[in-house]
Amino acid sequence: MQLEGKKALITGAGRGIGWGCATELARRGAEIIANDAPGSTTLAETTEQIRELGVTCTAIEADVFDRGGCEQLVASAIEAAGRIDILISNPAWSVRDDFLKVKPEDYERVVRCTMTGGFHMSQLVARHMVERGGGGKIIFITSIHVEVPYAKSVAYNSAKGGLYNMARTIALELLPHRINVNCIEPGWIDTPGERKFFTEEALQAAGPTLPWGRLGVPADIGKAAAFLASDDADYITGEMLRVDGGLIFNGTIE
């Protein structure tokens, strides 16, 4: 129970990586404030699953792609839990298309939702952490797209790369306040978001071809988040923890 007594706010907790992070932090005793978009069909289920683990979970619907939604979420989270010790910032939106064909409005939305949303959440939570004192943990979910410029993903590659550099700057500026700021870089994770672009058959076929012999699952990312959120990671800040089962080595293995 290494996170017992901690209050963790996780965005996008209704499914996928956000759900994996919320569940794994809850397993280690953290009180969870679970966020998902207004009208989420899965947030209630996530909340119930976490409560069944014996910890407190508060569900808050809010649009973290928008400054006003982020302000509403942070205020509601503080009102519900009293404070925020841990933020896992997981906003993302993606479109895949050729660079020559991608619509300017789609590019701008991906960057706004994926990178700018992360800025809003982290700034608001960091202000709270600085005001109350005592440090804190901010964890951004980036992507292997930071390091590998996958085709048909110019907007997502840009947004996740920018998010990583933004996180390092935030880490630097928050050093005097003992707020650890780190990133997790997922590889190919089997999430509902991936199923927008790949069929079940394609995902099943892809798993055995990867270096670790399978796709990642949300719990893989959640366990990494639980480590970075714990006191065991006290001396780590401004870093990116790649959790990809060796995917980065694809094409280099004989």
Three-state secondary structure call for residue 59: strand
Mean pLDDT of 137-147: 95
For residues 163 and 89, the answer to whether their CB atoms sit within 8 Å is no
Which pLDDT does position 192 carry in this prediction?
75
Helix (H) or strand (E) holding 126: helix 117-132
Mean pLDDT of the chain: 94
CA–CA distance, 170 with 27 (Å, rounded to integer): 28
And the tokens for 224? 């990494």
Which region holds residue 135: left if phi is over 0, alpha if psi is between -120 and 50, else beta? left
Q: pLDDT per residue over 49-61, tens digit each?
A: 999 999 999 999 9
Give the amino acid at 221: I
Which pLDDT does position 191 carry in this prediction?
82
Positions annotated as catalytic residues are 156
pLDDT band with cut points at 50, 70 and 90 for residue 253: low
Q: pLDDT per residue over 197-248, tens digit each?
A: 788 888 888 889 899 999 999 999 999 999 999 999 999 999 999 999 999 9
- pTM for this predicted structure: 0.94
Three-state secondary structure call for residue 16: helix
Mean pLDDT of 155-162: 94
And the tokens for 22? 């919320």
Q: pLDDT per residue over 164-197, tens digit each?
A: 999 999 999 999 999 999 999 999 998 877 777 7
From residue 1, how far is each of 17, 30, 218, 230 by CA, in Å?
21, 8, 20, 10
For residues 3 and 199, the answer to whether their CB atoms sit within 8 Å is no
All residues at 6 or more sequence positions from 89 whose CB lies less than 8 Å from its CB, including other chains:
11, 117, 118, 121, 122, 138, 139, 140, 141
Which pLDDT does position 44 carry in this prediction?
96
Mean pLDDT of 21-30: 98
For residues 188 and 244, the answer to whether their CB atoms sit within 8 Å is yes
All residues at 6 or more sequence positions from 127 whose CB lies less than 8 Å from its CB, including other chains:
none
Which domains are assigned to the chain?
A: 7-242 (3.40.50.720)
